[in-house]
Structures are given as structure tokens and as C-alpha cells.
């Protein structure tokens, strides 16, 4: 299962690089539901925004009072119009930026925006029917793609399936139905899990209750459709692996998920990012070896060890350093690995998200992970085995501050992960038997 790894359509890629960010101003804000508000963002310099394809997201930087500079990804919820972006944000009770946007950001508020990115976009042809399945605020990329689909008079059949709690939390309902009516080959199904007493079936919603895999298999063309899914982690944990198990092949199963992708496959891969506090003291201080011990010699000893893998890659993701630990863990010799893409050690379902983050880090010069963060991800060995890894990364930069590559230290923790997985199963079995 993978997000689409290319950008469909004729839009040219946005300029890349740390200088690609631009100042935008909130032109207007619109209440879409009790929990979702849309913000129309227009470039402050009056020039057109960077081109994007419906379904992509942008990266927003905001200075939040009391919270400092914050970075968030938000889907662009409207089809491209060459003039502005629209984002539609759910107010999360613990969300620092979402609460600030809902409570404080007003027309005239300035934000720094990086160019749109992401491969969650419609196929270029109408060879297959399309099924969009979303929950909560996960409908935002679907609305943008539906707008573009209708505007371009696409010929494919399309089903738009959306789940939310009630009419009070339903955003864009009337808009989606109007788009469907205008096109003629778009069918919509709205599910409300807790419809209000004032709601009327057939008018405010189509089905009362939760979406199930059984409903999808019975009412959508599993054998031929392209599936697009977006929603909260629990929703995706159910339907991404579920549709795959029902026979939808990876190339027809696309999803958008802002979070560790491995969380979707909790039974098969390690847990998400584990934050470790950074060391005390001045982080910028250079380590100094005591007299008689040479820093370079210490570095060589670390690089030559066979316990942990140390892998360096250039700005394009080609492997430029491969130590004995990497050869032991992954099975590729140094000659086999050098010059190859990092794809040789990344399982296919996780490559699209990996490269999206990699490109963003190279362009911005900033990693989403802080100093000391230990990340847990799946890895791939030479013989095709899936292993569990913990790793951290550091950025390599030139004198001008431009990212030239990254270095990762990786450790194989597969036995420990299997033990934790077995313990979790035992606890679940015990709880089920109580």
C-alpha cells in the first residue's frame, strides 16, 4: 500500500530549496462545521502561488504566541485556481496550531508557506473507477480532487464516501452533493455515526452508523477501482490493510496520513517515534577528546564497528557511506550498496512517505525530528526480509548552510520488537478472558 509517488497532470514542480518559502496572508476564513474552519491564503507579494495538483498539501510555518515557531502540514482543500490556496483545519483540543488558527488567526494574519508537495493525487487517465473514502477532516484532499475532477469533466465513475459524527461536524456536504449533481457520474454516500434528532435520512445523511469493510466490499468495485483513503489513524488502520486483504493490490490503494506510516501496520512494524530527551549542556559545543586520544581515530573506530549500521546519503538519497554494521544488518556488501538509492533498504510501502520527508528536509534545511529523537521504522534486507530498526539522523551541510546529505545510525531491534508484540498479545488475550 502506498501513496502515489508522482504528481499527475501538467503542473510544473514548485521551486525547491530553503529560499522557496513565501509570505502569505489570510484573505478570509469560513466556518465549515462546528469543528472545521477554512482559511483562504493569498501570496503577500501579489504573484501567483506555486502550482499544485489537487490532493497535495503545503507546509505552514506560524509564530504562535507562547508556543514559538511551529511547523505543520495541511492539505490544500480546493482545486488549483492560480490565485490562492485554501486549507480547512479541524480544531483539535490539544492542537497548539489548530487552536491558534481557530481562535486568533484573522484576515490579515501573515504566515510563511513552503511549496506544495505530496503524491496523493488522482491518476492521469480515466481507465478505472475511483473510490474516495474519508473520515472527519480527512475529506479535505477528497474535496479538492473532486472539484478538479468535475472541472476537468473527467469521464471515470467516482464514488465519494465520507464518515463523520453528525450534521454538526459535517463539512462541505452541500458542496460535495452539488458537485456530484453537476457531473452526473459521481455518487455520494455520507455516513453519520451519531445523527442528531433533527437530522433526516436521505437529506442530511445516507447511512446512520459506522463504515465497515463489509459495506465497502459489497458496494464498491474492488476488482477494478482506484481507492483513495484519508482519515484518522484508527480509520486507516482498519481500511488500508483491510482493503489490501480483500484483494485490492498496492498499486490501486492510495492513502494520505500525516504521522508515522508504520502506525498503520501495528502488527507488522515497530512503534512510532520515541522521543528521547536531548543531552544537557550546550548542544552547539564541539566534543573534545582528552590529550592522547585523537577525534579522527575515535570517529574511524565508530565507523568501522559492526554492531550498528552507519549509512550516509547525498542530497538525492544515494548511498555514499556504508559501514561494516550496515553490511551485517542489511546483507549488502559495501560495493553493492555504494551509489545505490536508499530504496534498497526501505520496504516498498514506505518509500513514498520517506522520499517526501527526505525532499522536504533537504529543501528546508530542517529535520522534523529534534536532537536525540530515536525513530522506529521497518527496514528491508538483501534477501527480502522485513526487519525492525531504531535510528537517528544528522544533517550534513555546506558552509552556506545548504543540506548536502544525511547520516543515519541504525540498530536492528527485531527480536525486542517481537517480544513486545508477543507481550501485547498476551495482555490482550488475558483482558479478553476476564
- Length of the chain in residues, anyone? 434
Residues 134 and 86 in one domain: no
Dihedral sign, Cα of residue 382, residue 384, residue 385, residue 390: positive
Rounded to 5 degrees, φ, ψ at 320 are -115, -10
**CA distance linking residue 62 with residue 365, whole number of Å:** 17
* The total number of structural domains that make up the chain: 3
Tell whether 101 and 77 lie within a shared domain. Answer: yes
Write out pLDDT tens, residues 289-317: 565 666 667 777 788 877 899 999 999 99
Q: Within a domain: residue 91?
A: yes
Domain boundary among 261, 284, 315: 261
Residues 6+ apart with CB under 8 A from 83: 42, 48, 49
Average pLDDT over residues 264-274: 40
Does 228 map to a domain? yes
378 — phi, psi (to 5°)? -80, 150
Domain co-membership, 171 together with 76: no
Selected residue with higher pLDDT from 417 and 305: 305
161 shares its domain with 243: yes
* 186 shares its domain with 221: yes
Q: What is the pLDDT of residue 356?
A: 84
| Residue 430 counted as domain residue | no
Q: What is the CA radius of gyration of the chain?
A: 24
Q: Quick check: is 84 in a domain?
A: yes
How far apart are the C-alpha atoms of 201 and 190, rounded to whole Å? 10
The reply to whether 311 and 397 lie within a common domain is yes
> In CATH, what number is assigned to the domain containing residue 235?
3.40.50.80
Number of neighbours of residue 23 by Cβ within 10 angstroms? 12
| Same domain assignment for residues 78 and 104 | yes
- Give me 425's grid cell: 498479545
In DSSP terms, 269 is beta-bridged to none
Q: First vs last Cα of the chain: how many Å apart? A: 36
My answer on whether 137 and 255 are in the same domain is yes
Of all helices (H) and strands (E), which one includes residue 410? strand 403-412
Whether 87 and 74 have beta carbons less than 8 Å apart is answered as yes
Does any domain span residue 377?
yes
Q: Phi/psi at 120 (nearest 5 deg)? A: -85, 80
Sequence-ordered list of residues with C-beta below 8 angstroms from that of 211, at least 6 positions apart, any chain? 133, 135, 161, 163, 191, 239
Cα–Cα separations (whole angstroms), residue 230 to 5, 141, 216, 306, 394: 16, 8, 15, 41, 31
Q: Among residues 75, 96, 117, which one ends one of the domains?
A: 117
Residue 288: inside a domain: no
Domain that holds residue 151: 130-261
Does 134 lie in the same domain as 113? no
Is the pLDDT confidence value at 287 over 90?
no
Contacts of 35 (CB under 8 A, 6+ apart): 90, 91, 137, 169
135 & 110 share domain:
no
Above 60 in pLDDT, residue 10? no
Question: Is pLDDT above 70 for 12?
Answer: no
> What's the CATH code of the domain at 99?
2.40.30.10
Q: pLDDT per residue over 30-70, tens digit each?
A: 999 999 999 999 999 999 999 999 999 999 999 999 888 89
Q: With respect to residue 269, please indicate whether it lies within any of the assigned structural domains.
A: no
User: Rounded distance, CA 252 to CA 195, Å?
Assistant: 32
Same domain, 136 and 230: yes
> Does any domain span residue 432?
no
Q: Does the pLDDT of residue 281 top 60, yes or no? A: no
Q: Where are the beta strands (DSSP E) in 224-273?
A: 226-230, 253-256
Task: Assign residue 392 the CATH number of its domain.
Answer: 3.30.450.20
Domain check: are 346 and 391 in the same one?
yes
Amino acid at each position: 500500500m502506498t501513496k502515489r509517488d508522482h504528481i499527475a497532470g501538467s503542473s510544473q514542480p514548485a521551486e525547491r530549496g530553503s529560499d522557496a518559502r513565501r509570505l502569505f496572508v489570510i484573505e478570509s476564513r469560513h466556518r465549515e462545521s462546528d469543528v472545521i474552519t477554512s482559511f483562504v491564503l493569498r501570496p503577500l507579494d501579489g504573484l501567483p502561488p506555486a502550482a499544485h495538483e489537487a490532493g497535495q498539501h503545503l507546509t505552514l510555518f506560524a509564530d504562535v504566541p507562547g508556543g514559538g515557531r511551529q511547523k505543520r502540514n495541511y492539505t490544500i482543500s480546493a482545486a488549483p485556481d492560480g490565485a490562492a490556496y485554501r486549507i480547512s483545519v479541524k480544531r483539535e483540543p490539544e492542537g497548539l496550531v489548530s487552536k491558534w488558527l481557530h481562535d486568533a488567526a484573522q484576515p490579515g494574519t501573515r504566515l510563511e508557506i513552503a511549496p506544495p508537495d505530496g503524491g496523493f493525487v488522482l491518476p492521469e487517465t480515466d481507465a478505472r473507477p475511483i473510490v474516495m473514502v474519508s473520515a472527519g477532516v480527512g475529506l479535505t484532499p477528497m474535496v479538492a480532487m473532486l472539484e478538479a475532477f468535475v472541472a476537468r469533466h473527467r469521464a471515470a465513475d467516482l464514488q465519494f464516501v465520507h464518515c463523520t459524527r453528525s450534521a454538526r461536524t459535517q463539512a462541505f456536504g452541500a458542496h460535495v452533493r452539488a458537485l456530484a449533481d453537476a457531473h452526473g457520474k459521481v455518487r455520494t454516500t455520507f455516513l453519520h455515526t451519531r445523527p442528531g434528532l433533527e437530522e433526516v435520512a436521505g437529506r442530511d445523511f445516507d447511512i446512520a452508523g459506522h463504515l465497515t469493510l463489509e459495506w465497502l466490499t459489497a458496494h464498491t468495485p474492488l476488482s477494478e477501482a482506484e481507492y483513495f483513503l484519508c482519515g484518522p489513524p484508527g480509520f486507516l488502520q482498519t481500511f488500508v490493510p483491510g482493503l489490501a486483504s480483500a484483494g485490492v493490490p498496492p498499486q490501486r490503494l492510495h492513502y494520505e496520513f500525516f504521522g508515522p506510516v508504520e502506525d498503520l501496520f501495528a502488527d507488522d512494524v515497530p512503534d512510532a517515534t520515541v522521543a528521547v530527551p536531548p543531552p544537557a549542556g550546550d548542544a552547539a559545543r564541539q566534543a573534545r577528546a582528552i590529550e592522547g586520544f585523537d577525534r579522527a581515530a575515535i570517529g574511524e573506530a565508530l565507523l568501522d564497528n559492526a554492531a550498528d549500521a552507519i549509512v550516509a546519503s547525498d542530497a538525492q538519497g544515494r548511498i555514499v557511506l556504508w559501514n561494516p554494521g550496515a553490511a551485517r544488518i542489511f546483507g549488502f556488501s559495501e560495493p553493492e550498496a555504494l551509489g545505490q538509492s536508499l530504496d534498497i533498504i526501505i520496504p516498498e510501502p514506505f518509500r513514498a512517505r520517506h522520499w517526501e520527508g527526505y525532499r522536504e528536509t533537504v529543501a528546508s534545511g530542517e529535520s522534523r525530528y529534534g536532537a536525540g529523537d530515536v525513530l522506529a521504522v521497518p527496514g528491508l534486507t538483501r534477501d527480502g526480509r522485513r526487519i525492525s530498526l531504531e535510528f537517528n539522523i544528522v544533517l550534513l551541510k555546506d558552509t552556506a548552510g545548504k543540506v548536502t546529505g544525511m547520516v543515519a545510525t541504525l540498530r536492528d531491534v527485531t527480536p525486542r520488537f517481537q517480544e513486545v508484540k508477543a507481550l501485547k498479545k498476551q495482555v490482550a488475550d488475558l483482558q479478553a478472558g476476564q
